[in-house]
Amino acid sequence: MRRFTLLLIFILSLTACGGKPASPSGTTAPVILTSTTFLADITRNVAGDRQTVVALLPIGSDPHSYQPTPQDVTKISQSKLLIINGADYEHFLEPLLQNAGGTQNVIEAAAGISLRKDAQGEADPHVWLDPNNVIVYVENIREALTHFDPDGAAVYQSNADAYVAELKSLDSWITEQVNQIPVEKRLLVTNHEAFGYFADRYGFTIAGTVIESFSSDASPSAQQMAALIDQIKSSGAPAIFLDASDNTTLAQQIADETNVRVITDLHLESLTDGAPAGAYIDMMKYNVTQIVNALK
């Protein structure tokens, strides 16, 4: 209940400069917009046929470094609800929301989740890589849809319940898969610090990152590269895991120095158009399969 109150305050604060909340009726247009493609899939699982859900970001784009277009402002201003990850993920949105007139209803899917922080106090936004956190997303999205379309309450509840059951079986499936790898071999080296929540949940150790940041939008120094090479050698980590949108050059240089493999096709921040990561659950299963195969 407290989360919903906070959510309402957030909505009201965004609509306070002259805008009105979108019509609460169950009209089919305008659409519900989400920032990322995986959020669109999660939202569709709750909304079912009652709403049209569209992702603002194209498939395959990196939300950390996304460059918005003028059409994005139009899409936002015409949407009735904008569902974002939150947790300091969508930096590209701040100017867009201002340009769109500040009248949007914005829902933070990650609201209420306790966030990992780095030494500087920056939040780690990659909450969705633990499916248990996506159960919280589903509840936030269900509350928001119900608020704007009360007639759909029963449909949203039953859709949410069914999807939460799928998320719980995804969590059990990941645990089973990961159990094929001894704990001491559960070592992840990644492009940027995306795997914290996943590692916490499934007993992995982050053996190193090419970019020491929660964002891919940064570059390492020569000293950081040298330190990472040492970390990989001393930990015995056998692979570097990259998102399909990541630049492979630095990881390949490090791999050449350390004789490890580079896995270049994880899907952490975007779905794919159809297989292998056409839906959030498929994306997680594909990533876990790649990780388990590389480490076992």
CB of 190 to Zn ion, least distance (A): 9
Touching Zn ion, residues 175-194 (CB under 5 A): 194
One symbol per residue from 29 to 68: x for binding Zn ion (CB under 5 A), - otherwise; what is it? ----------------------------------------
Least distance to Zn ion, CB of residue 261, Å:
21
Residue 194 or 229: which CB sits closer to Zn ion? 194
Question: 194 or 294, CB closer to Zn ion?
Answer: 194
Q: Which is nearer to Zn ion, 141 or 194 (CB)?
A: 194
Quick one: 81 or 211, whose CB is closer to Zn ion? 211
- Subset of residues 193 to 222 that bind Zn ion, contact rule: CB under 5 A: 194
Distance CA 57, CA 40 (A): 10
The least distance separating Zn ion from the CB of residue 187, rounded to whole angstroms, comes to 19
Indicate the residue among 32 and 194 with the shorter CB distance to Zn ion: 194
In whole angstroms, the minimum distance from the beta carbon of 55 to Zn ion comes to 16
Nearer to Zn ion, 96 or 194 (CB): 194
- The residue number with the shortest CB distance to Zn ion is 194
Least Å distance, CB 75 to Zn ion, is 23
Alpha-carbon distances, residue 182 vs 132, 185, 186, 189, 296 (angstroms): 23, 5, 7, 17, 8
In angstroms, give the least distance from the CB of 89 to Zn ion.
8
- Give how many residues touch Zn ion by CB under 5 A: 1
Give 170 or 194: the residue with its C-beta nearer to Zn ion: 194
Shortest gap between Cβ of 269 and Zn ion (angstroms)?
5
* Interface characters, 159-178, with Zn ion (x: CB under 5 A): --------------------
Rounded to whole angstroms, the Cα distance separating 208 from 193 reads 9
**Where along the sequence are the contacts to Zn ion (CB under 5 A)?**
194
